[in-house]
Amino acid sequence: MKNNHNLKNIKLVLLDVDGVMTDGSIYISENGESVKKFNVKDGLAIELLRCHGIYTGVVSGKASAALTSRCEALGFDFIITGCKNKLPKVNEVCQSLDISINEIAFCGDDILDLPVMEPCCVSFAPADAHELVLKKADIVLNGIGGSGAVRELADMILLSRLPSLEDVYRPLLTKIAADDVVSLEQ
């Protein structure tokens, strides 16, 4: 585990999906379609990060119509699905943004995420992540996957830059008050 992570320097937040944005469950309908449950608190976290100029993305080992639909609705800057070897894709994202991997916060919950966790500035894991991921994570969140862990991560990063939650949420509340919410998705 790294001791010198600096949340203030984060320019991109990348997330695994299953087990981070969801509880890891996959529901299969009678016609074989997969359905996933997402938490609106986490969805609002993506807009909050965007309000503060932080890029967002997902790098998921799974691919499904439900996952793509949710990620597109939330307006992630990068949506990478069906990717088991995540680090090369993360490096491509860095190149496209002209940033260093040291400017990325990554949240993962399972062993596919381990290779990405080490080189990032800071790695997060939901409280119910796999034991090896919990050991590797710089920060273990209080929340479990699919139950607001992404919101907790966003608040933590933004509180490293601003003095209070009121300051963190002010840009988002200003958008809401101005009825500038056409693109706002929970």
Chain segment 82-101, per-residue pLDDT in tens: 999 999 999 999 999 999 99
Chain segment 111-134, per-residue pLDDT in tens: 999 999 999 999 999 999 999 999
List, as one string, the DSSP characters of 44-88.
Answer: HHHHHHHHTT-EEEEE-S---HHHHHHHHHHT-SEEE-S-SSHHH
Structure tokens, 77: 């800057």
pLDDT band at residue 1 under the 50/70/90 scheme: very low
pTM of the model: 0.93
Domains defined along the chain, listed by start = 7-177 (3.40.50.1000)
